[in-house]
């Protein structure tokens, strides 16, 4: 009966066994852990590395972790890292070449090591972000083979959000706090103490395989893993409902294209620019920003050359460089590029929005610029103009 | 081939094309055919503006020569009007206009046209409007030249 | 797995021609024997250890045995390219982008207008039109340069001018007395095009400021924005719509351009710093 269950409930104390199964399947585990006062994604050795009892407080320009006083493991929301870091590394060698005595050279694509990796604790908004990266990097005329390889080797252990942050707005960009698809296993954390448990749901063949091996692993303790009861299923649904209710709706998001399309010449960009430091934090923290630059390096002898790709940001002056000077010289024009690209022209390019509502750009902006507020201001400007005409 | 009369030639040019026949006939009375050989000057800076020209064939250059250096500003050719300083008297030409390909032109007696403009303001309005269009176009072209866009 | 689009092929320089004081042409030997491209497309040229730049292809699409690039020495990489000599190796990725509307122009009057170095990206299109002259109605070529000394391909211009089946007008912004041609900006040539505006395709290539004025003048002639094509330039790094640098509103210049119908970009074209 258990073998065929749609979802199973696992005692929290045995969560480590799930990680063991993944490790035994050969996966490198990357998941949340506390580092430098934030929950970041990095290699984890075992369940003890997870941020048990940690929650976070987020608001524009502010992030603090706090002790939740409970034994729950996923009560934080998203931190400064995104999975982009592991699928599309900040720096990667593209190719290298060595010049011979006669000046001839031949580029060799860089060997790209890529280990099967399990992402532990992927939020629904982050799954959306990975799907967006798939569109940008993989589903194009020139797929990025390194990305494709990493993506294929990735196991996604998703988690529903029990406690959304004040900066979350996934529900206004077509998402929600609960993973719906494109995961291998999704888990919902319920209860604390003796009733602390996880509801696990497989979303792929790979996920079903892992759950089967978990069942085998735990076969000596049949009570540890059970088909999810109706009561637990109701508890999951209730938690999702509660989370959704805690997320503030941003009505302007639904009209973002129309608002931004009418705002290219708005004065408001100058107003934002008075606060924006052009620091690029938002683009680095954003789970979908994909701009990269290349760097050419040679050794001292000048016979060996390498070409590296690294993350770039539309907030740098060099991003729009042309002979004779950059196109977007002002912060106003760069902020307009970032917001307009994310919420409007991304649709033209890839058929979706570039925003998943994770709120990172709001939290990690040192000036506390909130794209929800900026869009709302532009919205009121546009509607004022519409009224005036 | 039949030689075209001055009124016929005027009607073909957009500068005069909208004028009624009476006015064409009148202004033709102020005009005569003129020829300038390559190397000659159509006008010289500092000389009074007695005539202005509508180029039929050939080409000239509007240039400024100072000390040892000549700079070419513009090169009017077929269909182009040469000279508009005559509009506001007393006027002298500002540039030298040197012929680089033999020119056949219609030469207008500036005083004759100007007097008509003053007496017949409707005619005058039309001529001045055309001159303004011409001046705007030259100004625009000069501004683009100033942008040095191929630098 | 297919060849990684970010890894260049290597080609040898067959010939280097100095065109003007700061502009030169490199003729490359295609590694595969031939290099097939469409007029208006570009390549990414890489100089060993120095870097990569996008350069339009300026050779003859009907002669793929040689790959021709005309390059202006204005930056680090183009300067390094200028130092290359016969036999040197260049990295080449391409061809990329959407080129000139050669098919759409068939059966129509064609205005080909180039300014400055803009003659290089337009030359394949001019050659195509002249080689397939019967496919097109009236053919008008306009070329504007800064001075007579800055004019590209002067011998070829003379050859084009000698044809009776194409109107070729050349002008320079400034000249001294030794120049016997037109002096004045390229926009002043437009009124003499005498094409049928409702059956004209205009291909305009030059600095953005020149295309800006050309569009105004062509529109005044009655050529609709859908029939005016321009070649846009932005910072192109990857050339395959991945690095994000050449974004122009919803388009990647490298992938969706560089050639656009003016109507496609009219709403953006005069917005500053976009």
The pLDDT, as a whole number, for residue C1 is 37
Contacts of B79 in chain C (CB under 8 A): 192
The pLDDT, as a whole number, for residue A136 is 96
The pLDDT, as a whole number, for residue A386 is 82
B136 in C contact zone (CB under 8 Å)? no
Give start and end residues of each alpha helix (H) in C102-252: 119-131, 154-161, 208-221
The pLDDT, as a whole number, for residue C3 is 63
Cβ-Cβ contacts under 8 Å between A and C: the total is: 119
Query: What architecture is domain B32-150?
Result: Sandwich (2.60)
Residues A288, A84: contact at Cβ < 8 Å? yes
Q: Which residue has the higher pLDDT, B43 or A324?
A: B43
pLDDT tens for each residue of C103-114: 999 999 999 999
| Facing residue for C210 by CB, picked from B63, B137, B149 | B149
**Substitution target from C182, C193, C220 for chain B, most B beta carbons within 10 A:** C182
In angstroms, rounded to a whole number, what is the distance separating the alpha carbons of residues B87 and A279? 59
Distance of CA C207 to the CA centre of its chain: 11
Residues C41, C257: contact at Cβ < 8 Å? no
A190: which strand partners?
A197
**Substitution target from B68, B98, B150, B151 for chain C, most C beta carbons within 10 A:** B150
Average pLDDT, chain B: 91
What's the CATH number of domain C109-269, 3.40.50.80, 3.40.50.970, 3.40.50.1980, 3.50.40.10? 3.40.50.80
The pLDDT, as a whole number, for residue A339 is 97
C196 min Cα distance to partner chain A (Å): 34
pLDDT at residue B67 is higher than 80: no
Residues A150, A123: contact at Cβ < 8 Å? no
Axis crossing angle, helix A15-24 with helix A205-217, rounded to the nearest 10: 120
Give start and end residues of each alpha helix (H) in chain C: 76-82, 119-131, 154-161, 208-221, 253-256, 262-269
A98: which strand partners?
A304
The pLDDT, as a whole number, for residue B68 is 78
In angstroms, rounded to a whole number, what is the distance separating the alpha carbons of residues A12 and A333? 50
The pLDDT, as a whole number, for residue A222 is 59
Domain spans in chain C, listed from the N-terminal domain onward:
9-96, 109-269
Domain spans in chain B, listed from the N-terminal domain onward:
32-150
Interior CA angle at A35 toward A34 and A39, to 5°? 45
Q: Which residue has the higher pLDDT, C6 or A385?
A: C6
pLDDT band at residue C2 under the 50/70/90 scheme:
very low
B69 in C contact zone (CB under 8 Å)? yes
pLDDT tens for each residue of B91-106: 899 999 999 999 999 9
CA distances in angstroms from A341 to A188, A256, C84, listed in the order given: 33, 11, 39
Transcribe C5-61 into DSSP letters: TTSPEEEEEEEEEE-SSSEEEEEEE-TTS-----TT-EEEEEETTTEEEEEE--S-T
In angstroms, rounded to a whole number, what is the distance separating the alpha carbons of residues A80 and C175? 60
For the record, the structure tokens of B45 come out as: 């800076």
pLDDT tens for each residue of C16-68: 999 999 999 999 999 999 999 999 999 999 999 999 999 999 999 999 999 99
For the record, the structure tokens of C49 come out as: 């250890």
pLDDT tens for each residue of C177-191: 889 899 999 999 998
pLDDT tens for each residue of C166-178: 999 999 998 988 8
Helices then strands, counting H and E runs in chain A, come out as: 13, 16
User: DSSP class of residue C272?
Assistant: T
Q: What is the pTM of this model?
A: 0.93
Q: Which residues of chain A have pLDDT under 50?
A: 1, 4
B130 min Cα distance to partner chain C (Å): 16
Question: For residue A310, what is the nearest residue in chain C, using CA coordinates?
Answer: C243
Strand, helix or coil for residue B89? coil
In angstroms, rounded to a whole number, what is the distance separating the alpha carbons of residues A126 and A175? 10
For the record, the structure tokens of A193 come out as: 């103490």
Q: According to CATH, what is the number of the domain C9-96?
A: 2.40.30.10
Residues A43, A86: contact at Cβ < 8 Å? no
The pLDDT, as a whole number, for residue B38 is 96
| Facing residue for B150 by CB, picked from C145, C177, C183 | C145
Residues C173, C146: contact at Cβ < 8 Å? yes
pLDDT at residue B1 is higher than 60: no
The pLDDT, as a whole number, for residue C96 is 97
Q: Phi and psi dihedrals of C143, rounded to 5?
A: -135, 125
Strand, helix or coil for residue A79? coil
C81 min Cα distance to partner chain A (Å): 14
| Facing residue for A328 by CB, picked from C87, C238, C273 | C273
The pLDDT, as a whole number, for residue A221 is 63
Average pLDDT over residues B58-74: 87
In angstroms, rounded to a whole number, what is the distance separating the alpha carbons of residues A339 and A332? 11
For the record, the structure tokens of A246 come out as: 């805690």
């Amino acid at each position: 009966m258990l073998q065929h269950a749609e979802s199973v409930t696992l005692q929290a104390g045995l969560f480590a066994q799930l990680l063991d199964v993944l490790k035994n399947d050969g996966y490198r585990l990357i998941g949340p852990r506390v580092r430098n006062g934030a929950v970041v994604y990095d290699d984890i050795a075992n369940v003890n590395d997870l941020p048990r009892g940690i929650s976070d407080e987020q608001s524009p320009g502010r992030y603090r972790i706090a002790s939740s006083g409970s034994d729950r493991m996923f009560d934080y929301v998203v931190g400064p890292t995104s999975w982009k870091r592991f699928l599309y590394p900040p720096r990667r060698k593209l190719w290298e070449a060595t010049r011979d005595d006669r000046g001839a050279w031949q580029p060799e694509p860089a060997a790209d090591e890529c280990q099967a990796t399990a992402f532990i604790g992927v939020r629904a908004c982050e799954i959306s972000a990975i799907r967006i990266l798939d569109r940008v990097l993989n589903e194009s005329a020139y797929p990025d083979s390194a990305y494709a390889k990493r993506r294929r080797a990735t196991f996604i252990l998703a988690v529903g959000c029990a406690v959304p942050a004040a900066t979350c707005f996934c529900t206004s960009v077509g998402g929600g706090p609960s993973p719906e698809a494109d995961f291998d296993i999704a888990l919902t954390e319920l209860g604390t103490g003796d009733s602390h448990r996880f509801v696990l749901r497989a979303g792929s063949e790979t996920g079903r395989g892992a759950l089967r091996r978990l069942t085998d692993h735990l076969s000596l303790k049949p009570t540890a893993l059970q088909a999810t009861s109706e009561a637990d299923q109701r508890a999951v649904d209730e938690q999702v409902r509660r989370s959704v209710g805690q997320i503030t709706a941003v009505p302007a998001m639904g009209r973002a294209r129309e608002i931004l399309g009418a705002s290219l010449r708005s004065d408001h960009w100058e107003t934002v620019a008075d606060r924006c430091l052009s620091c690029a934090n938002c683009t680095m923290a954003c789970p979908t920003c994909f701009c990269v630059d290349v760097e050419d390096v040679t050794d001292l002898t000048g016979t060996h050359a390498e070409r590296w790709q690294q993350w770039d940001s539309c907030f740098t002056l060099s991003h729009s460089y042309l002979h004779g000077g950059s196109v977007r010289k002002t912060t106003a024009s760069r902020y307009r590029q970032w917001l307009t690209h994310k919420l409007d022209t991304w649709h033209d390019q890839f058929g979706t929005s570039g925003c998943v509502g994770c709120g990172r750009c709001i939290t990690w902006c040192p000036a506390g610029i909130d794209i929800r507020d900026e869009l709302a201001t532009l919205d009121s400007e546009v509607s004022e103009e519409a009224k005036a005409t | 081939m039949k030689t075209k009369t001055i009124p016929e030639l005027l009607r073909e040019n957009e500068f005069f094309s909208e004028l009624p026949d009476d006015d064409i006939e009148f202004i033709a009375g102020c005009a005569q055919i003129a020829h300038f050989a390559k190397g000659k000057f159509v006008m010289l800076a500092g000389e009074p503006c007695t005539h202005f020209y509508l180029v039929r064939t050939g080409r000239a250059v509007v240039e400024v020569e100072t000390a040892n250096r000549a700079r070419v500003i513009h090169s009017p050719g077929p269909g182009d009007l040469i000279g508009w300083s005559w509009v506001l008297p007393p006027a002298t030409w500002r540039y030298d206009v040197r012929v680089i390909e033999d020119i056949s032109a219609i030469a207008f007696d500036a005083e004759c046209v100007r007097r008509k403009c003053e007496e017949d303001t409707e005619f005058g309005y039309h001529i001045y409007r055309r001159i303004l269009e011409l001046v705007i176009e030259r100004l625009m072209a000069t501004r683009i030249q100033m942008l040095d866009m191929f630098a | 797995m297919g060849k990684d689009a970010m890894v260049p092929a290597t080609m040898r320089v067959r010939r280097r021609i100095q065109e003007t004081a700061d502009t030169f042409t490199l003729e490359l030997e295609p590694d595969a024997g031939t290099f097939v491209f469409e007029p208006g497309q570009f390549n990414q040229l890489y100089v060993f250890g120095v870097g990569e730049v996008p350069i339009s292809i300026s050779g003859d699409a009907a002669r793929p045995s040689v790959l021709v690039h005309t390059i202006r020495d204005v930056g680090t990489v183009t300067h390094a390219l200028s130092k290359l000599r016969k036999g040197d190796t260049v990295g080449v990725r391409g061809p990329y982008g959407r080129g000139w509307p050669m098919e759409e122009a068939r059966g129509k009057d064609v205005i080909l207008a180039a300014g400055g170095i803009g003659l290089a990206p337009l030359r394949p299109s001019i050659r195509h039109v002249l080689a397939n002259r019967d496919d097109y109605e009236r053919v008008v070529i306009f070329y504007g340069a800064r001075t007579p000394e800055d004019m590209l391909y002067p011998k070829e211009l003379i050859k084009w001018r000698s044809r009776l089946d194409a109107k070729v007008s050349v002008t320079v912004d400034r000249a001294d007395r030794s120049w016997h041609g037109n002096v004045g900006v390229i926009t002043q040539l437009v009124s003499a095009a005498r094409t049928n505006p409702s059956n004209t395709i205009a291909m305009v290539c030059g600095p953005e400021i020149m295309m800006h004025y050309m569009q105004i003048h062509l529109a005044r002639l009655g050529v609709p924005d859908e029939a005016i094509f321009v070649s846009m330039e932005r910072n192109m790094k990857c050339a395959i719509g991945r690095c994000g640098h050449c974004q122009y509103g919803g388009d990647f210049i490298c992938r969706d351009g560089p050639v656009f119908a003016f109507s496609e970009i009219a709403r953006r074209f005069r917005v500053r710093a976009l």
